[in-house]
Structure formats: C-alpha cells, structure tokens
C-alpha cells in the first residue's frame, strides 16, 4: 500500500521555485504539489481511469490548503472506485454551478409568469407582477433557486405578515410554490421549499359578506322600487338585475349586449369572465327582461350594459353598487356580493334542489370525483327556479304570497353503474 500524507504545511510553505523548470512533491495516494518556476504551487491528482492515466487540478496552494487538497483527493479516489471519472464529475459540477447561477429566482419567476400570461385576465397579470416586484424580488431576485431554503422563504413571508397583510402573504407563498414547481418540472431544481410551509401562515377570522335576510326584503324592495335614495338610473337598474340574477358583481359590471340571447331569454357569461373559467348560463325571468329593456333604452348604443359614467368605454366602478347600498341605508348591513347569499339562503330554506342552486351560483363542485361526472346544467329546473325567485323577490314589497316550490327530483350523488 502506498504511503499517504507525506507532506506538512511547513514543507509546502518552504518549497522554492527552480529557474526554468517545475518540480513535484508527492503527498501520496496520487496527490502532489507542483511547484512552478514562477513560484505558483498547484495541487494535482493523478489517477487511472479505464487503464488511462489522467490528471486533474485541485487549485492553487495556499488558497487550497493541504487539508482541503487531501479531502478532494479522498473524494476523487472514491469516485474512481465507484467507476466514475473525477475529471468528468468536476466538469459536470462546474456546469451545474454555472447553470444554477443563471437560474435565479427572478429569472425562473419571470419565465413562469410569461408562460401563464395568456391564461390570465389583465387585472390578474398586473396583480401578480406587482406581487413579484414588491414582495418577492427584493429578497429573492438574485438567489439561485437551488440554494433557497425553507427557512429563508419563511423569513420573507413573515415580513409580509408583520405588516398584517395576511392575504398578500398567502398569495405570495402560493406564487413561490408555483415558481418552484415550474423550476422542478423544467429540471432547474429538485426540491420545493415552499411545499414545506403548508399550514404555517397566520389566519384571520373569515369575514363573510353582509347580506339581507328574508325579513329585510320588503323594506329593501320598497326602497328600490320608489328609488328613495335617488340613485342614478343605470345604478338603480344594476342593483335590480344583480338581485334578480345573483351573479357576482364583477360579472354584472362586465356584462355586454353580445352575451344576451333574447330568443332563448338567456345571458351567457363567457368562461374568461367567470371565476371558475367555465361558461355560465343565467336564465332570465320576466322581471330581469324588463330591467334589461330599460337598460337598452339608456345604454343600448354602448358595448356594456353598465358603462362607466365618466369613461363610457370602461365598465361601471367596482364600488358603485356598494356606495348605492350605503345611500339606501345599508352601510354595514349588505354588499353587492351579498345578494348571492340572500338568494341561496332563501331558496335552500324553501326546499329547492341544492344542485340547481349551486349551479346557478356557478360554484365549483366540492367533490372532485362527482365533478368529473356531473356536467348537468339543469336548465329547465333553473328557469323555473329563477322565475320563482324573481316573483318572490319583487313580491316581497307586498308579501301577499309565499314562494311556491315545485317538487323537484333530488339528484342522487351516487354514480350508477350499468
């Protein structure tokens, strides 16, 4: 067995250059220090791979110490024993180091962002870019994705939470998770530090949208019909149509005349405007059609049913409905989104089929397996339900009759096999 560790630090320090020639001082096990005529001293490792003598450099002494050179020698000898070529391993390490240096969080995040752009609404894209620029890039931009740890990521998220921006923290972590998943899928990293932070975020007590109860409807409809708050005509009609259709306020504000089929008395909201990215059909009651007819007189020449007062090519402001409710005396008692809860609560209490209600609310199916098989639209039943709802809602002013509930068949959630 050949001797190893034959050199010592003092000897390495004292080796002097010779004019016009270099010489080698061996430490054993293939490791030697080559002293150049210039005075530079290089660590080399000589080994045999596939019956071929080869050499690799471990660096310059004393930047690479004697102890470190021995560590590198022992690692290289183990590689040879395992059938690997240390020179190839070193080249691959350099390649990966260069690749990792270019695969920074910012570079990968912007690549991921660019791939997602076509599927996002303009507002979503702007919000996502702002989050990257404001929340994540200041701390992570130049960090290679392979070197970012869970602890480092948690520190970034905790700083956002410290501002009490809990929703921003939640979205920022979701974005990090998506970026690291993309990096892994494109072979730029092997681990996802964001995945380890599931459940670590602070939570705030859920504040549900304020909504009108059944007993509130007579007074509300009275105020609506008499326009006691002196609302602008388009705003008043928007409020009525929102209550009659109980769509989301963003879906109402973006309504276009091209989305309505008056032969079928349907409003088809395209998938790109829906939260769940699925086209939504709204059967129109006679009362809803009356509201739309009035809107046609006012805004029929516009692209949208509810154009912005100051900039008609844009849609109604997102706060218009809310401020109208304030003027009607419902500050802190109701919101535009709350009409969905009002309709859902009353229809459920009156015994309507839950599937029909949920479909009309355009909610996603909670059961993933059931959702894969349940593509039913229930349009005939929903037409009847929406007309009944309109009769009930507008009739609340007088309360002469109770809503009449048809005995609709309950859908069996269990899959039937042939």
Which one from 24, 130, 202, 363 is the annotated catalytic residue? Answer: 363
Active-site hit among 95, 158, 275, 404: 275
Per the domain annotation, does 96 fall within a domain?
A: no
Residues 223 and 246 in one domain: yes
Its domain, for residue 192, covers 105-197
| Annotation marks residue 323 as catalytic | no
Residue 53: which CATH number? 3.30.160.390
Predicted TM-score (pTM) of this structure: 0.56
Residue 411 in domain: no
363 in catalytic set: yes
Residues 174 and 25 occupy one common structural domain: no
Interatomic CA distance for residues 31 and 68, integer angstroms? 12
Domain co-membership, 271 together with 296: yes
Read off the CATH number of the domain in which 185 is found: 1.10.150.130
Per-residue pLDDT of the chain (418 residues; tens, 9 = 90+): 568 899 999 999 999 999 989 999 999 999 999 999 999 999 999 999 998 999 999 999 999 999 999 999 999 999 999 999 999 998 888 877 666 667 899 999 999 999 999 888 888 899 999 999 999 999 999 998 988 999 999 999 999 999 888 889 999 999 999 999 999 999 888 889 999 898 888 876 656 678 999 999 999 999 999 999 999 999 999 999 999 999 999 999 999 999 999 999 999 999 999 988 899 999 999 999 999 999 999 999 999 999 998 899 999 998 999 999 999 999 999 999 999 999 999 999 999 999 999 999 998 754 444 444 445 689 999 999 999 999 999 998 876 345 444 444 444 333 333 3
Tell me if residue 275 is catalytic.
yes
| Candidate list 248, 253, 356, 384, residue with the active-site label | 248
What does the block give as tokens for 130? 């702002």
In 3D space, the residue among 220, 416, 417, 207 whose CA is nearest the CA of residue 328 turns out to be: 220
* Distance between CA atoms of residues 190 and 51, nearest Å: 35
Residue from 158, 202, 373, 404 carrying the catalytic annotation:
373
Strands 266-269 and 280-283: antiparallel
Bridge partners (DSSP) of residue 26 are 32
Final residue of a structural domain among 90, 113, 131: 90
Domain count, the chain: 3
Question: Is residue 4 domain-resident?
Answer: no
75 and 112 in a single domain? The answer is no
Identify whether 294 is part of a domain: yes
Assess whether 373 carries a catalytic annotation.
yes
Last residue of a domain, one of 43, 61, 90: 90
Catalytic residue among 70, 304, 340, 359: 340
């Amino acid at each position: 067995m050949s001797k190893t560790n034959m050199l010592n630090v003092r000897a390495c320090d004292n080796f002097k250059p010779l004019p016009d020639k270099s010489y080698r001082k061996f430490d054993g096990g293939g490791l030697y220090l080559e002293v150049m005529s210039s005075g530079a001293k290089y660590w080399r490792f000589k080994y045999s791979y596939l019956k071929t003598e080869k050499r690799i450099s471990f660096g310059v002494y004393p930047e690479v110490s004697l102890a470190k050179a021995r560590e590198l020698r022992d690692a290289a000898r183990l590689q040879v024993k395992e059938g690997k070529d240390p020179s190839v391993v070193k080249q691959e390490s350099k390649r990966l180091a260069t690749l990792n240096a270019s695969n920074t969080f910012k570079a990968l995040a912007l690549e991921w962002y660019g791939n997602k752009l076509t599927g996002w609404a303009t507002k979503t894209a702007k919000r996502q870019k702002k989050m990257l620029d404001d929340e994540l890039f200041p701390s992570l931009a130049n960090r290679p994705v392979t070197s970012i740890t869970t602890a480092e990521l948690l520190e970034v998220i905790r700083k956002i939470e410290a501002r009490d921006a809990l929703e921003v923290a939640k979205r920022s972590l979701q974005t990090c998770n998506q970026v690291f998943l993309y990096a892994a899928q494109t072979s730029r990293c092997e681990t996802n530090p964001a995945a380890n932070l599931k459940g670590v975020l602070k939570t705030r007590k859920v504040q549900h949208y304020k909504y009108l109860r059944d007993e509130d409807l007579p007074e509300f409809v009275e105020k609506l019909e008499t326009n006691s708050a002196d609302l602008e005509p388009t705003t008043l009609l928007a409020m009525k149509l929102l209550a009659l259709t109980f769509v989301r306020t963003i879906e109402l504000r973006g309504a276009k005349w091209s989305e309505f089929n008056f032969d079928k008395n349907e409003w088809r909201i395209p998938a790109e405007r829906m939260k769940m990215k699925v086209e939504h059909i709204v059967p129109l009651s006679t009362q809803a059609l009356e509201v739309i007819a009035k809107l046609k007189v006012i805004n029929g020449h516009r692209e949208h049913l509810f154009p912005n007062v100051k900039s008609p090519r844009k849609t109604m402001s997102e706060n218009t409905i809310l401020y109208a409710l304030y003027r009607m005396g419902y500050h802190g008692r109701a919101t535009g989104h709350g009409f969905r809860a009002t309709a859902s609560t009353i229809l459920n209490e009156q015994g309507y089929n839950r599937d029909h209600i949920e479909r009309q609310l355009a909610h996603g199916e909670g059961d993933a397996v059931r959702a894969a098989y349940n593509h039913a639209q229930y349009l005939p039943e929903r037409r009847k339900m929406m007309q009944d709802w309109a009769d009930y809602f507008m009739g609340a002013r007088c309360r002469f009759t109770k809503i009449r509930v048809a005995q609709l068949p309950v859908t069996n959630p269990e899959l039937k096999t042939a």
